[in-house]
Amino acid sequence: MRVAFYTRISTDEDRQKYSLDAQRDRLEAFCKGVYGDAGYTLVEVFRDTESGAHLNRPALTRMLADAEAGRFDELIVFRVDRLSRKLNDLGPMVERLTKWGVAFRSVSESFDTASPSGRAMMQLLGVFGELERETIIERTIVGMERKAKTGVWVGGTVPYGYRIREDKKGIVIHEDEAFIVRRVFARYATGAVGVRSLRDELTADGHWKRTGRPWDARCLLHMLRNPVYVGKLRWKTEMHQGTHEAIVSAELFARAGAVLRARADDLKGRQWHTGSERLATGLIYCSGCGRSMVGVSGIRNGRKTPYYACNGRLTKSGCRMDYIRADLLEGQIIAGFQDLFRTREMVERVWREAQRLLARERPEIEAEAGKVERDLARAEEQLEKYFLAFEDGTMKPDDCASRVESLKRQIEALMDRRAVLARQSERLSLPALDLDEVARLLADFERGFESERNAERKHLLHRLVKEVRVQSRDTAEVWYAFPQPVGAAQARVWQGASVRV
């Protein structure tokens, strides 16, 4: 009798009641007891370390192919559920084996599929196997839900910036990655850059994902939406306070979330946008309904004219805010900024705020510089290993060349970033500014703003302006991104009586 064994475990052998080797020993003992030492030939032992809930198992696929090819006469398993835990899969599989002339036996359950009663017993055992599987799933889900409610990490892929604790009972901050997480949130929360710009910045600075691949926009969006970074856990639709330490503050997480929502709202309005990208997109809101305003184009005196329009009006949600001329509004915003910057009071405030920001920036620069040095040493060590593997002949030239080229690009980017950080570290102290220098800087700014491309002008405007609230077709409130003294008005109101649509 030509026989084949099929053995399977779901996880590591240390946690299994019957390991793969133990299953084989029981199957061999069974064959010797039934056929004797010389009464059977063991063709092959098929071994899988996969879940029995699906059929996409390498050894199972090979076993069925060999059965169809007639390589063995009988398939023996330790238990029916080793073949499959789902009755819908088990029945058709045994029918196929019978069609190919292969008998199916289980050591633990006494039945023979060659007889009707044996096939009925096999179906009954399949029902119990599926019931056991569903019970295990239900208990696991209940356990994970209970764990999530207590704030303990329930498992799965560990988010970037964290590592599993040594006692396996939660996650802990991994500072080499947490620095990047804080940088992503801080940059995105300003509203000046998007995920694609952040992706390009991280790649250019030599910061790659944990897998060794460059960042992509999808991963960064997932990071910005993940509440784990603010110390919370999401289970299905519920949110629970986690036991792990937060990487970013609740305020920063909320600001980044606000930018995400505003940009999603803005994207809904892009379908009406037929002109070039507006400078204030993402900054400008309707005071009437609170929705964002987006760029549209209209015909005025036979010429295409840029406007801002409220999303509430475009989506027919009831808002009646007038359209506002984009070029006139943007011009008044820039003029207001220039007027503010020309005062001595504002120059002194800006200088004090710059000193405060630089003092706060020092530890961040030092932390990033340390990470760059560690990443650089790690990349150079990996590069040396690939060279040695190539010299020893243990790696093919094509495989080695592509990885070496990737590591060289990463090392080059890291070295460039190290040089930038060194220059930033040297400029952490600002000299006193006088009005003549401010006037010169302002003139340079005006000339530079007019000469830059639209994308660069928009980026600069987002650095200078926090928010614009349109109150009517000729009145808007502009919040500039400048430090305000305690007790001073927090907004500058622009009355643009000459702005007509």
Catalytic amino acids? 10
What gap in Å lies between CA 4 and CA 41, rounded to an integer? 9
What gap in Å lies between CA 193 and CA 184, rounded to an integer? 10
DSSP string for residues in 183-209:
HHHHHHHTTS--HHHHHHHHHHTT---
| Entry field: residues in the chain | 501
> Which bin fits 301, alpha (ψ -120 to 50), beta or left (φ > 0)?
left
Query: Sheet harboring 41-48: ordered strands across?
Result: 41-48, 2-8, 74-77, 103-106
Helix axes 454-464, 326-341, angle to 10 degrees: 50
Handedness of CA 350, 351, 354, 355 (dihedral sign): negative
Q: Exposure string (b/e) for 405-434, b if CB count within 10 Å is 16 or more?
A: ebbeebbebbeebbebbeebeeeeeeeeee
Contact assessment for residue 30 and residue 99, using Cβ atoms and an 8 Å cutoff:
no
State the first-to-last Cα distance of the chain, in angstroms, to the nearest integer.
93
Phi, psi of 384, deg, nearest 5: -65, -35
- Ranges of H-type helices in 315-343: 326-341
Tell me if residue 441 falls in helix, strand or coil: helix
